[in-house]
């Protein structure tokens, strides 16, 4: 049995934070951000928006696209590291918001790679026949975890949610998933505390410095390029595929230069790579499912095409999925 993508959806908050806005706040420039990252603007969750409110909208779109009701689901998995509360999980809150009960609902924490880990778990349940329909969501508000005065991080991260319904299918779907973690890199990228909310002035009452997201960007960059190169090679080899036999690369949207390096490794022209980071920034666990949904809805990704999804993030944790859509 295969886990086939039966529907997708995504949500981006309305509020835009442009590079020009950031020039007013910290010592940076539009030119630097565009050249070093490829990002022009990102979306920022409003005071009343959370991982759960964003996930709900993305999930409803995905269910509608799959022509399913929430009552058809056998499981809900939410990949996030920025939910409002440690528990109940965002997945349990989402379950309630969707009006269903009893089915297992849980969060998966693997930072920017969370959606790949959640997808891999869902794939196992469908493959072995224990579930027919699983909702997999990636949602984060990492912009909220960034120190408003830290130019190293605020230029990169945005907020959003993406969702995918996986459904049991006898002919095609996910062929393989590949996951890796390396905890020895904890000092390069992390966040001390979940979700310190800032007020309108950007000040966070009671927040201490260690709580903010920290990142040694250029060191993360080097490891990311190396591990993603190994990961896509492993994914192709496992499926006995050659470079050039993929239709689309749907990468984590962290940095255009990292994506270009991965595409080069796969000998894929950038026209076959789905890019949203110019207007989303890095939305962490949401980034792959947002890009996937955008390219499905605009008609680029067609049924029967071969897709490679991949992500790399804090932990470090990284993973991929090879899928026939």
**Binding residues vs ligand UT7 (CB under 6 A):** 28, 32, 36-37, 112, 151-152, 155, 217-218, 220-221, 224, 254-255, 258, 282, 312-313
Q: How far apart are the first and last CA of the chain?
A: 15
- Smallest distance from ligand UT7 to CB 312, Å: 6
Residues in the chain: 325
Comparison of 5 and 33: residue with beta carbon closer to ligand UT7: 33
- Smallest distance from ligand UT7 to CB 188, Å: 9
**Bond from prior residue into 224 cis (ω within 30 degrees of 0):** no
User: What distance in Å separates the CA atoms of residue 264 and residue 285, rounded to the nearest whole number?
Assistant: 24
Q: Is 112 a catalytic residue?
A: yes
User: What distance in Å separates the CA atoms of residue 144 and residue 142, rounded to the nearest whole number?
Assistant: 5
- Smallest distance from ligand UT7 to CB 264, Å: 16
Give CA angle at 31 (147, 196), nearest 5°: 10
CA max distance for the chain = 55
User: What distance in Å separates the CA atoms of residue 61 and residue 47, rounded to the nearest whole number?
Assistant: 23
Comparison of 262 and 324: residue with beta carbon closer to ligand UT7: 262
- Smallest distance from ligand UT7 to CB 216, Å: 8
Q: Which residues pair with 168 in a beta bridge?
A: 3
Comparison of 36 and 238: residue with beta carbon closer to ligand UT7: 36
Among candidate residues 112, 133, 146, 195, the one labeled active-site is 112
- Residue 105: strand, helix, or coil: strand
Residue whose beta carbon is closest to ligand UT7: 217
Comparison of 158 and 313: residue with beta carbon closer to ligand UT7: 313
Among candidate residues 147, 195, 255, 282, the one labeled active-site is 282
- Smallest distance from ligand UT7 to CB 172, Å: 30
User: What distance in Å separates the CA atoms of residue 114 and residue 137, rounded to the nearest whole number?
Assistant: 9
Q: Is 252 a catalytic residue?
A: yes
- Smallest distance from ligand UT7 to CB 260, Å: 12
Give CA angle at 32 (264, 287), nearest 5°: 55
Comparison of 11 and 312: residue with beta carbon closer to ligand UT7: 312
- Cβ(91)–Cβ(109) under 8 Å? no
- Cβ(42)–Cβ(19) under 8 Å? no
Which residues, 6 or more positions from 121, have their beta carbon under 8 angstroms from its beta carbon? Answer: 77, 108
Q: Is 96 a catalytic residue?
A: no
- Smallest distance from ligand UT7 to CB 112, Å: 4
Comparison of 93 and 310: residue with beta carbon closer to ligand UT7: 310
Comparison of 1 and 182: residue with beta carbon closer to ligand UT7: 182
Q: How many of the other CB atoms lie within 10 Å of CB of 232?
A: 24
Q: Name the strands in the sheet holding 317-324, side by side, starting at the edge strand that comes first in the sequence.
A: 174-181, 317-324, 306-313, 248-251
Q: What residues are annotated to the active site? A: 112, 252, 282
């Amino acid at each position: 049995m295969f886990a086939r993508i039966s529907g997708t959806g995504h949500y981006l908050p309305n509020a835009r934070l442009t590079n020009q806005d950031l020039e007013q706040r910290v010592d940076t420039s539009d030119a630097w951000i565009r050249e070093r990252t490829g990002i022009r603007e990102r979306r920022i969750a409003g005071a009343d928006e959370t991982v759960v409110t964003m996930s709900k909208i993305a999930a409803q779109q995905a269910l509608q696209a799959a022509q399913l009701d929430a009552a058809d689901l056998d499981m809900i998995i939410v990949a996030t590291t920025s939910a409002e509360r440690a528990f109940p999980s965002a997945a349990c809150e989402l379950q309630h918001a969707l009006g269903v009960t009893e089915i297992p609902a849980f969060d998966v924490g693997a930072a920017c790679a969370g959606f790949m880990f959640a997808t891999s778990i869902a794939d196992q349940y469908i493959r072995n026949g224990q579930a027919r329909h699983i909702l997999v969501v990636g949602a984060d508000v990492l912009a909220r975890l960034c120190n408003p005065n830290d130019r190293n991080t605020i230029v990169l991260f945005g907020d959003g949610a993406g969702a995918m319904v996986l459904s049991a299918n006898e002919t095609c779907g996910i062929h393989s998933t590949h996951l890796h973690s390396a905890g020895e890199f904890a000092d390069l990228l992390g966040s001390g505390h979940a979700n310190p909310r800032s007020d309108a002035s950007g000040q966070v009452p009671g927040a201490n410095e260690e709580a903010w997201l920290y990142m040694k960007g250029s060191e993360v960059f080097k490891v990311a390029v190396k591990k993603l190169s190994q990961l896509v090679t492993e994914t192709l080899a496992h499926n006995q595929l050659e470079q050039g036999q993929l239709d689309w690369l749907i990468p984590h949207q962290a940095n255009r230069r990292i994506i270009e390096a991965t595409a080069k490794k796969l000998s894929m022209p950038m026209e076959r790579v789905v890019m949203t980071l110019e207007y989303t920034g890095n939305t962490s666990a949401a980034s792959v499912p947002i890009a996937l949904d955008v390219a499905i809805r605009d008609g680029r990704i067609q049924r029967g095409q071969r897709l490679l999804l991949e992500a790399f993030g804090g932990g470090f944790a990284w993973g991929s999925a090879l899928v026939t859509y």
